[in-house]
Amino acid sequence: MENRSFFDFVKSISFSNADKERSILYLSILVENGIETFIDALKDESASPKEQAELEVAKLVFFVTEKDLQQNKFFDTALRIAVAKDAVRGDKEGLDHVELFFKRLSDIFPQGMADRLFLYAYDRIKEDAATGKPILPPYEELKQHSIERAKILGLETTAKTSKRSYRSEGTSTDIVPCPKCSDKKRVDKNTKRFRCKKCGLNQTYPF
């Protein structure tokens, strides 16, 4: 979703037009883009963008249950997109993609709800990986995902989802202990360097 659409989203979100369906779709957009993007978009709209963002998000969460979110195809796809985005960012910046994804959810949802959605998302991905399914749907389906959601919410979208932005195939992961301090870190077949946050170890992987 390009910036103009996100600004339209920011302007349209309000308690007066919120209901279960719209709240789920708004939350799916927030999960995909991250709370910081929402806060940045509010800087021209509010004197206290962080507080305003937290207030608006709390209103949305009020209308939904975890079951509502888990049973919605738009939200399910949003979780997968978020996992893929954080995997790409983690690889580029040497960060733990699992921690990035957990923080993304914790910034939006109450802690208990964030914990359970985090586990739900990874359980779904593991199920798909076990049967050989990719983490994400094909590019054309992702594009249609953005278009359909935007139509329901009355937003504009050019659906410029990059074909190379995300990992399109399921990747199995392993938990590996740091050889220096034994702190555990998740790795996969694409991991080239093992970076330990706890002790600072940074060396090529596999060892």
- Tell me the per-residue pLDDT of 140-174, one tens digit each, with 9 for 90 and over: 888 888 888 888 877 654 444 444 444 444 455 67
Asked whether residue 111 falls in the same domain as residue 202, the answer is: no
Question: Domain check: are 94 and 194 in the same one?
Answer: no
Q: What value, to the nearest 5°, has the Cα angle with vertex 185 and ends 76 and 102?
A: 30
Residues 39 and 96 in one domain: yes
Residues 142 and 76 reside in one and the same domain = yes
CA–CA separation, 128 and 135 (whole Å):
7
79 and 9 in a single domain? The answer is yes
Same-domain pairing of 130 and 39: yes
What domain range includes position 143? 3-162
If asked whether residues 8 and 46 sit together in one domain, one would say yes
The SS3 assignment for 136 reads coil
Residue 106 pLDDT greater than 50, yes or no: yes
The pLDDT of residue 166: 42
Confidence category of residue 74, pLDDT binned at 50, 70, 90: very high
* Same domain assignment for residues 187 and 143: no
Count of the separate structural domains present in the chain? 2
For residue 183, the model assigns a pLDDT of 77
* Cβ proximity of 90 and 100 under 8 Å: yes
- Check whether residue 109 and residue 176 sit in a common domain: no
For residue 199, pLDDT over 50 is answered with: yes
Cβ-proximal residues to 108 (8 Å cutoff; 6+ apart), any chain: 27, 30, 31, 35, 57, 61, 114
pLDDT exceeding 90 applies to what percent of the chain? 37
- Looking at residues 17-42, what average pLDDT do you find? 87
Q: How confident is the model at residue 18 (pLDDT cuts 50, 70, 90)?
A: low
Range of 36-45, 79-88, 179-188 with top mean pLDDT: 79-88
More confident residue, 86 or 154: 86
Task: Check whether residue 182 and residue 89 sit in a common domain.
Answer: no
46 and 122: one domain?
A: yes
Strands, E, within 109-171: which ranges? none
Quote the pLDDT of residue 169.
43
- Which DSSP letter does residue 198 get? T
| Mean pLDDT of the 120-137 span | 88
Decide: pTM greater than 0.95: no
Whether residues 191 and 102 share a domain: the answer is no
